[in-house]
Amino acid sequence: MTLKSNIMKHQLIIVGGGPAGYTAAEAAGAAGLSVLLIEKNNIGGVCLNEGCIPTKTLLYSAKIHDNAKHASKYAVQTSDVSFDLPKMVARKNKVVRKLVLGIKNKLSACNVTTLIGEAIIVDKNTVCVDDKLYQCDNLLLCTGSETVIPPINGIEDVDFWTHRDALDAKELPSSLTIIGGGVIGMEFASYFNSLGTKVTVIEMMDEILTGMDRELSAYLRQEYAKRGVQFYLESKVTSLMQNEEGIHVGYEKDETTSSISSEKLLICVGRRPVMNDNGIKQLHLEQTARGHIVVNEQMQSSLSGVYVCGDLTGHSLLAHTAVREAEVAVHAILGKEDKMSYLAIPGVVYTNPEFAGVGQTEETLQSKGIAYSTVNIPMAYSGRFVAENEGVNGYCKLHISDDNRILGAHVLGNPASEIITLAGMAIECQMTVADFRKIVVPHPTVGEIFREAL
């Protein structure tokens, strides 16, 4: 490799332009630091270009389609309800372009220099892009994660989908098998089921949505089973084969081997941090047993001047977590007092109905030996919910400590994603039940469900 001369110097170089990277760049640039943001693909990262935003755009179209099909429940008559999948995908792309442009404009307004290219870490103060060296006082690593492709027998001979392919599909498959019943798998199961595809979900664990409230996960699974989604739990995929009849998935359950067939196959079994071939490993940063980079409360790694945010830390593979981590890292670089807290990180599954949780689950409380009591009430306790969800119910579950502090909150029912923040704020601020009840909540709103539970 021949390196070009004229080394550029910045106070902060950020590798990775996803939510952590662009948030940090904006904050540091606004504070007056000279910032170089390097992104190998598209500003916005996986979340904006092929994750959070595009999936929610398509899921909203599917939700509108669902509402139209069932409009008669609300005394609204519709006929010949249909959808145009290519136009749905085109709208998704338009939304992504609009939001990417907005981020680029914000970066420009904050005097951030952006560079599209693959960064190679030379040392903690030097990064190489296209044979040109860039130096920095501080280095922030936000390289994110990538899709895990499991080593299943026969996978190399099968034309399977990842989430990227599913997002761009302009022809609806008649049938779809999804390997993986996590958040990504369930959201795509919801999307394709709403549009009329016969969906099958194969999950190795004994319940879908590992890490979410187990009881409510089971309720969500049962709801989608009623809609025709087939679930195979505690099932390990052992082989794949494709012929003119479709894709055949062999799986093992209870020491018995079976198989199912479908037109398309979607694999979404997880994600892993991006650290290969980019020089991060040669920094010899301390890592966990699972290969994630260890950071302190200020997001600094074991090497002074090197900060790490987002999926690389393994704390939470969520965009909103990465955004807060980025703010903390920049504050540390600026010398401002701040620290990262993972006490109340909301998790949301954007199915229909939505499912959201924040704080402790019963499973984590029991594993930690923490004493608690639980309140579990139907969402029908909320007048607004009843008005907008004819013939549908959901659940709100709260976990309370012995000293009456809110430890966890879990909601199954629309719009769980919008109201879970109320509980998250209470948990992060370590509010007691009495503190929370002093908050005046507008009526009628679904958020009143928390007051009803308390």
CA distances, 197 to each of 78, 192, 238, 351, 416 (Å): 22, 5, 24, 15, 25
- To the query of whether residue 410 is one of the catalytic residues in this protein, the response is no
Are 96 and 62 contacting, i.e. CB atoms less than 8 angstroms apart? no
Contacts of residue 356, Cβ cutoff 8 Å, sequence gap at least 6: 346, 347, 348, 349, 410, 411, 416, 417, 419, 420
Query: In 163-268, which ranges are E strands?
Result: 175-179, 198-202, 230-232, 236-243, 246-253, 256-262, 264-267
Catalytic residue among 10, 70, 410, 443: 443
Q: How far apart are CA 361 and CA 269, in angstroms?
A: 22
- In the sheet with 198-202, reading across from the earlier edge strand, the strands are 230-232, 198-202, 175-179, 264-267
Query: In 291-401, which ranges are E strands?
Result: 306-308, 347-349, 355-359, 372-378, 395-401
Q: How far apart are CA 380 and CA 207, in angstroms?
A: 26
Q: How far apart are CA 209 and CA 359, in angstroms?
A: 16
CA nearest 350: which of 150, 85, 40, 60?
A: 60
Positions marked catalytic: 443
